[in-house]
Amino acid sequence: MTPKPSLSSWISTPRPNPASRLRLFCFPYAGGGASIFYTWPGTLPPDVELCPVQLPGREARLAEPPYRDMMELVARLGEVLEPHMDRPFAFFGHSNGAIMSFELARLLRRQGRRMPLHLFLSGRAAPHVPLSHPPVHELPEPAFSDALRRLQGTPEEILANAEIMALITPLLRADFSLAETYACAPEEPLDVPVTAYGGDADPDVTPEDVEGWSRYTRADFDSRIFPGGHFFLNTQRAMVLAELARNLAAVTARAARA
Task: Check if 214 is active-site.
Answer: no
Identify the weakest region by mean pLDDT among 90-94, 125-129, 158-162.
158-162
Which CATH entry fits the domain spanning 7-257: 3.40.50.1820, 3.30.9.10, 3.10.640.10, 3.40.50.360? 3.40.50.1820
* β-sheet bridge partners, residue 24: 50, 90
Looking at residue 6, its pLDDT comes to: 46
Identify the weakest region by mean pLDDT among 92-106, 166-180, 189-203.
166-180
Cβ 197 vs Cβ 120: under 8 Å: yes
- Tens digit of pLDDT for each residue in 122-159? 999 999 998 767 777 767 677 777 777 877 667 778 77
Q: Is the pLDDT of residue 5 over 70?
A: no
User: What are the Cα distances from residue 251, in Å, to 118, 119, 206, 246?
Assistant: 7, 10, 26, 9
Give the mean pLDDT of 104-109: 98
- Tens digit of pLDDT for each residue in 14-71? 999 988 999 999 999 998 999 999 999 989 999 999 999 999 999 999 999 999 999 9
Q: Which residue in the list 6, 9, 12, 95 is annotated as catalytic?
A: 95
Q: Is the pLDDT of residue 171 over 70?
A: yes
Question: What's the rounded Cα separation, in Å, for the pair 249 and 82?
Answer: 24
Cβ 172 vs Cβ 138: under 8 Å: no
Question: What's the rounded Cα separation, in Å, for the pair 217 and 211?
Answer: 12
Q: Is the pLDDT of residue 160 over 90?
A: no
- Tens digit of pLDDT for each residue in 175-218? 999 999 999 999 999 999 999 999 999 988 999 999 999 999 99
H-helix segments, 53-200: 70-80, 96-110, 143-151, 156-159, 162-180
Looking at residue 61, its pLDDT comes to: 94
Q: Which residues contact 73 (CB under 8 A, 6 or more apart)?
A: 55, 67, 100, 178
Give the mean pLDDT of 226-240: 95
Q: Is the pLDDT of residue 3 over 80?
A: no
Q: Is the pLDDT of residue 8 over 80?
A: no
Looking at residue 2, its pLDDT comes to: 39
Q: Is the pLDDT of residue 4 over 60?
A: no
Strand locations in the chain (E): 22-27, 48-52, 89-94, 119-122, 194-199, 221-226
Q: pTM for the full model?
A: 0.92
